[in-house]
């Protein structure tokens, strides 16, 4: 699939471009031709999610930035560097993470003075139009944990009234995954005033550490259950996955 001509009309939803029996690679290929909203005219290319299809963690950002728009890959610029640092500090294996964005084209406007491309926040209609790509990524990867970076991703997955500042760094119940966490966007950390920069980074890393702890606890629980069912001759039934995830949500809130 190639980039559509700028004269083509947007259809109103990415759903019009989702192939049947989609796999991640089929979705990625089809996303190149998306004109679900006007943003395909602004961005250089569609920046689809990236990472293993078996990833336990899915990180959802807002939209590609300047560097990502040029490279065609998510989180390769300054925000991605800070994200990698946070994963490292949180003991999360970067190879176990699928990274993507709520909106898959870069929305920008030229700064009159510097002529640089300035990021513009996507609006509700653009987020809604792009949502089918994210929905299909989640359905195929089936992550154990989703991490929303910033208000755009959090509102897309947790509802329009969700407040990152009030509920950051805790495991939330959701139909998208056994646990959904929200934290600030790394670009907000990078933009913090100099006297608040260190604290902002510390809080960001601390939120990511809560995700790391949740994952390690969940892995330990799965290993214990496997040992338990072997001891009982392997025929014992285990609790329903939703019961397990609810229990882990409770414990990670403590
Ligand atoms: N910011 C995002 O939200 N996503 C990216 O891919 C890069 C920067
Ligand atoms: Fe399609 Fe999303 Fe790009 Fe809009 S932003 S054209 S819906 S991929």
Predicted confidence (pLDDT) per residue in 127-138, tens digit: 999 999 999 999
**Model pLDDT, residue 229:** 82
User: Which pLDDT does position 234 carry in this prediction?
Assistant: 56
- In ligand 2, the atom with minimum distance to the C-alpha of 63 is 5
Residues of the chain with pLDDT under 50: 238-254
Pairing of the two strands 108-110 and 117-119: antiparallel
C-alpha of residue 23 to centroid of ligand 2, in Å: 18
Handedness of CA 185, 190, 194, 200 (dihedral sign): positive
Which ligand has an atom closest to residue 148 CA?
1
14 alpha carbon to ligand 2 midpoint, in Å?
Answer: 6
**pLDDT tens, residue by residue, 48-81:** 999 999 999 999 999 999 999 999 999 999 999 9
Q: In what order do the strands lie in the sheet with 57-61?
A: 97-101, 57-61, 145-149, 179-183
Percent of the chain with pLDDT over 70: 91
Using alpha carbons only, give the angle 106, 145, 22 rounded to the nearest 5 degrees: 60
Which atom of ligand 1 is nearest the CA belonging to 186? 1
Ligand 1 centre and the CA of 101: distance in Å? 7
Ligand 2 atom closest to Cα of residue 17? 1
The CA distance from 57 to 61, in Å, is 13
Class of domain 47-188+196-253: alpha beta
Residue 56: predicted pLDDT: 96
- CA 215/CA 248 separation, integer angstroms: 10
Ligand with an atom nearest the CA of residue 11: 2
């Amino acid at each position: 699939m190639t980039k559509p001509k700028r004269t083509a009309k947007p259809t109103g939803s990415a759903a019009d471009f989702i192939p049947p029996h989609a796999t991640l690679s089929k979705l990625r290929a089809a996303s190149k031709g998306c004109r679900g909203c006007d943003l395909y005219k602004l961005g250089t290319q569609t920046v689809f999610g990236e990472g293993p299809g078996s990833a336990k963690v899915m990180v959802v950002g807002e939209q590609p930035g300047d560097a990502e728009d040029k490279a065609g890959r998510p989180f390769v610029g300054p925000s991605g560097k800070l994200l990698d640092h946070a994963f490292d500090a949180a003991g999360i294996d970067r190879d176990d993470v699928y990274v993507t964005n709520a909106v898959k084209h870069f929305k920008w406007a030229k700064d009159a003075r510097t002529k640089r491309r300035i990021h513009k926040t996507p609006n509700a209609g653009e987020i809604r139009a792009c949502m089918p790509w994210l929905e299909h990524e989640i359905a195929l990867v089936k992550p154990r944990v989703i991490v929303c970076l910033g208000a755009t991703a959090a509102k897309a997955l947790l509802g329009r009234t969700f407040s990152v500042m009030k509920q950051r760094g805790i495991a939330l119940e959701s139909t998208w995954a056994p646990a959904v966490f929200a934290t600030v966007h790394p670009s907000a950390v990078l933009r913090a005033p100099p006297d608040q920069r260190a604290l902002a980074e510390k809080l960001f890393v601390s939120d990511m550490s809560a995700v790391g702890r949740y994952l390690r606890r969940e892995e330990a629980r799965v290993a214990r259950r496997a040992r338990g069912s072997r001891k009982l001759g392997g025929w014992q039934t285990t609790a329903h996955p939703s019961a397990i995830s609810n229990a882990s949500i409770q414990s990670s809130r403590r």
